[in-house]
Amino acid sequence: MKSPSPSSSSSSGSFPSSPLATLATAEKIALLLLPLLLLVLICAINFPDEVHLPRLLSPGGSLLSGSSAEGIPTPPPRPEFRLLMGVLTLADRYEERHRLRLLHQLQPPVPAEIDVRFVLCNLTTDEQRVLVALEIMRYDDIIVLHCWENMNSGKTYAFFSSLPELFRGTSGEGSKPYDFVMKTDDDTYFRFPELVESLRRQPREDLYWG
């Protein structure tokens, strides 16, 4: 009687395990993970405030913050009041306006909305018309009134009296576009936190402040 021959190691149902097969499997996994890693890197570079890697690595984590992932951005808080600050200036005082813009950008955040507008009268030269038009296109913070530049002949009155017509229908639902309106000059600098603190408890009507 013949003794049964030993079974071959390559019987059906088993697969050979070799370094080449392991390497091929690792390459496939790397190719699958590479696009995901590139996506995470692109999001981290372009949206650094929105990407949260610890949240992504946690179970059930999301790549983006909760508000962005759900597609519903968090609305900004409602300002306590809105202030229109009219800065009376002359058309040729470009440096003064630019200096104030830089200073206002350095102000700390405040719980009110302060809208700074530079107020001019009629532009009288071609140079003024071109340069002021470029300022308006760049900053959109200039009001040109139908008046003549003057020191004590009614520019302040022209500014205040023009406001109802300038902002008619801009707020909607009959509400006022601004709670306060003030006038200042281009050589005056306000600290916004102190200004807001001074105005927040004041009445919204029949107020003369200064």
Q: How many whole angstroms separate alpha carbon 118 and alpha carbon 86? A: 6
The pLDDT of residue 153 is: 79
Question: Has residue 53 got a pLDDT over 90?
Answer: no
Q: How many whole angstroms separate alpha carbon 150 and alpha carbon 141? A: 21
Is the model more confident about 77 or about 179?
179
Nearest of 76, 118, 112, 119 to residue 202 by alpha carbon: 112
The model's pTM is 0.63
DSSP H/E element including 122? none
The pLDDT of residue 170 is: 63
Question: Has residue 69 got a pLDDT over 50?
Answer: no
Calculate what percentage of the chain has a pLDDT beyond 90. Answer: 50
Is 83 within 8 Å of 180 (Cβ atoms)? yes
Full strand arrangement of the beta sheet holding 113-120 = 142-144, 113-120, 82-88, 180-185
Question: Has residue 12 got a pLDDT over 50?
Answer: no
Q: Where are the beta strands (DSSP E) in the chain?
A: 82-88, 113-120, 142-144, 180-185
Hey, what are 177's tokens? 């576009």
DSSP 187: T
What are the residue ranges spanned by the domains of the chain?
Answer: 19-69, 82-199
Q: How many whole angstroms separate alpha carbon 179 and alpha carbon 96? A: 27
The pLDDT of residue 158 is: 94
Q: Tell me the helix, strand and coil percentages in the chain, rounded to 5.
A: 40, 10, 50
In tens, the pLDDT along 96-144 reads: 999 999 999 999 999 999 999 999 999 999 999 999 999 999 999 999 9
Span 29-40, mean pLDDT? 72
pLDDT tier at 18, thresholds 50, 70, 90: low
What angle, 0 to 180 degrees and rounded to 10, lies between the N-to-C axes of helices 94-105 and 126-139? Answer: 10
The pLDDT of residue 14 is: 47
pLDDT tier at 49, thresholds 50, 70, 90: low
